[in-house]
Amino acid sequence: MKILVINCGSSSLKYQLIDMQGEKVLCKGNCERIGIPGSKITHKTSDGYQIEMDCAFKNHTDAFTKLVDLMTKGDGAVIENISEVNAIGHRVAHGADMFPHSCLVDEAVVAKIDSLSEIAPLHNPAHIQGIRAAQRIFGDIPQAVVFDTSFHHSMPSKAYMFAIPYNYYKQYHIRRYGFHGTSHRYVSKTCAKLMERPIEGLKIITCHLGNGSSITAVDGGRSVDTTMGFTPTGGLMMGTRSGDLDPSLVTYIAEKTGLHGNEFLRTFNERSGLLGVSAISSDARDIENAAELGNENAALALNMLCYQIKKYIGGFAAAMGGVDAIVFTGGIGENSSTVRENVCANMEYLGVKIDLEKNKTRGDVIDLTAPGATVKTYVIATNEELMIARDTLALCGGVPAPAVEKAATKKK
Ligand code: ADP
């Protein structure tokens, strides 16, 4: 069974075609600048073929047409015919409290996703465009939707409520939803496999650290708390996002600077975080390099990030009454030995100690745990696309092949 995984943004469409027999990625690619001059597609196959070409994409349907063309014809072909694609799985950013699980697409599901566009204006309308375009190109093959928010449905009310008038929750559904759920779910499951213990008996803290970052407390395989909030701006400081703030800052900054309305959103979403503090870059690599060369603001931004991660780990360990494993994932979590070393320093009191030599190595799965530590620490490369494909397969009645489980066991 071959599943096409789609992640649509307002001007982009990322795709992966996965053969579920062995969970092999046959090809993947990215259509960029859809509806904007300069649109292009990048297409790569598992046997090393790669092409980047300019294409005029007026809309997501144009992008779909081109990627189907590349997948089925010429040197980038991995299937002979579009009919070999059995199902499509879409990533959807916001399912709010409407979608506790992934589900198959029908008109009622599309209407619900659409109704959430008000709280996810950059994401949900784009996902619907992706679903509609897929329907136009692929006809009525099964399509599934997998939500970034679903994994966090298990949070108790004490974790998801904000301490503001209760009516805002009742009337406007204002609460913590949490995001990156597909990633937290994937790495926590993989962590349990690596530990060869049932996830039901484990307390795991998963740190997804990328341009967008969030940390989740996973108790018994269920998210019980997470750092992101009503929107993905909350929680930890990120590349350009502020993370949690004192709400009174808004009126104070408005009085001092005249900033208002959407300008605040842009400031806290696009000009804050690592970029805001360092005034250099939102990219952790640039920040690490600048800090090493003596830039004080870059060093401050890096210190703030590591401190916040450490603080949330301590908080979530306390919230769960202990922790058995900590997982680092995402671009920073998987690649930055500096961030991991700083975060895990002086955590022996909690049973956390990492092997600094292993911490310098690279790989999709690394056990960083130093001898004597009672808490396991892992790097686990996330794979949201595979999780989406597995959910889609399960919804279509198939049983996912445990390729990752095998890979994880082999590496041990
Ligand atoms: P997104 O949230 O957009 O998916 P990623 O998960 O790809 O982002 O993470 C991007 C971040 O990962 C950037 O801040 C980048 O600097 C960081 N990163 C990637 N490689 C390294 C590295 N070798 N060392 C430090 N940070 C890295």
Task: For the chain, give every domain's residue range.
Answer: 2-154+386-405, 197-381
The pLDDT value given to residue 129: 93
pLDDT for residue 405 is more than 70 = no
Q: How far is the CA of 381 from the centre of ligand 1 (A)?
A: 12
Active-site residue flag, 283: no
**Catalytic, out of 19, 148, 219, 324:** 148
Assess whether the region 2-154+386-405 and the region 197-381 belong to the same CATH fold.
yes
Query: 291: Cβ below 6 Å to ligand 1?
Result: no
| Beta carbons of 203 and 212 less than 8 angstroms apart | no
Residues 211-263 have pLDDT tens digits of 999 999 999 999 999 999 999 999 999 999 999 999 999 999 999 999 988 89
Average pLDDT of the segment spanning 170-196: 97
The per-residue pLDDT for 397 is 86
pLDDT > 70 in the chain, percent: 97
Both structure tokens of 303: 């210190």
Ligand 1 binding pocket mutation candidate from 305, 335, 364, 379 (most atoms within 8 A of CB): 335
Tokens of residue 48, six digits = 């090393």
For tokens 């579920």, what's the residue?
Answer: 20
- pLDDT at residue 406 greater than cutoff 80: no
- Enumerate the β-bridge partners of residue 328: 207, 379
DSSP secondary-structure letter at 23? T
Per-residue model confidence (pLDDT) at position 104: 97
Write the CB contacts of 402 (distance below 8 Å, at least 6 apart in sequence).
none
Tens-digit pLDDT profile for residues 64-83:
999 999 999 999 999 999 99
pLDDT digits (tens, 9 = 90+) for 318-370: 999 999 999 999 999 999 999 999 999 999 999 999 999 999 999 999 999 99
CATH topology classification for 2-154+386-405: Nucleotidyltransferase; domain 5 (3.30.420)
Q: Which residue has the higher pLDDT, 400 or 152?
A: 152
The CA-based diameter of the chain, rounded to the nearest angstrom, is: 62
**What is the tally of helices (H) and strands (E) in the chain?**
15, 14
Question: Residue 409 pLDDT more than 60?
Answer: no
**How far is residue 125's CA from residue 73's CA, in Å, rounded to a whole number?**
30
pLDDT tens-place string over residues 120-165: 888 899 999 999 999 999 999 999 999 999 999 999 999 999 999 9
Ligand 1 in reach of 341 Cβ (< 6 A)? no
Structure tokens at 333: 């979590």
Select from 87, 34, 88 the least CA-distant residue to 63.
34
331 lines ligand 1 (CB under 6 A): yes
- Residue 285 Cβ < 6 Å to ligand 1: yes
Q: Is 239 in the pocket of ligand 1 (CB under 6 A)?
A: yes
DSSP conformation class of 226? E
Q: ∠ CA(74), CA(76), CA(80), 5° rounding? A: 65
What is 197-381's CATH superfamily? ATPase, nucleotide binding domain (3.30.420.40)
CA distance 164 to 176: 12
Q: Is 10 exposed, middle or buried (0-12, 13-18, 19+ CB in 10 A)?
A: middle
Q: How far does residue 281's CA lie from ligand 1's centre (Å)?
A: 12
Nearest to 25 by CA among 34, 39, 15: 15
Query: Any idea which residue has 């409290």 for tokens?
Result: 97
DSSP class per residue in 370-389: PTT-SBEEEEE---HHHHHH
The answer to whether residue 380 scores a pLDDT higher than 50 is yes
- Residue-wise pLDDT for 269-292, tens only, equals 999 999 999 999 999 999 999 999
Rounded CA separation 31/39 (Å):
7
Phi-psi category of residue 246: left, alpha or beta, with phi > 0 → left and psi -120 to 50 → alpha: beta
Give the residue-averaged pLDDT of 23-30.
97
Mapped onto helix, strand or coil, the DSSP state of residue 14 is strand
Between CA 299 and CA 363 the distance in angstroms is 27
State yes or no: pLDDT of 34 exceeds 50. yes
Query: In this predicted structure, what is the pLDDT of residue 121?
Result: 85
Quote the ligand 1 centre to 273 CA distance (angstroms).
14
The protein residue with its alpha carbon nearest to ligand 1, atom 3, reads 211
Alpha-carbon gap, residue 6 to 155, rounded angstroms: 27
Question: In this structure, how many other beta carbons lie within 10 angstroms of the beta carbon of residue 247?
Answer: 9
Determine which of 8-17, 22-31, 78-87, 276-285 has the lowest per-residue pLDDT on average. 8-17
Cα(211) to centroid of ligand 1, in Å?
Answer: 6
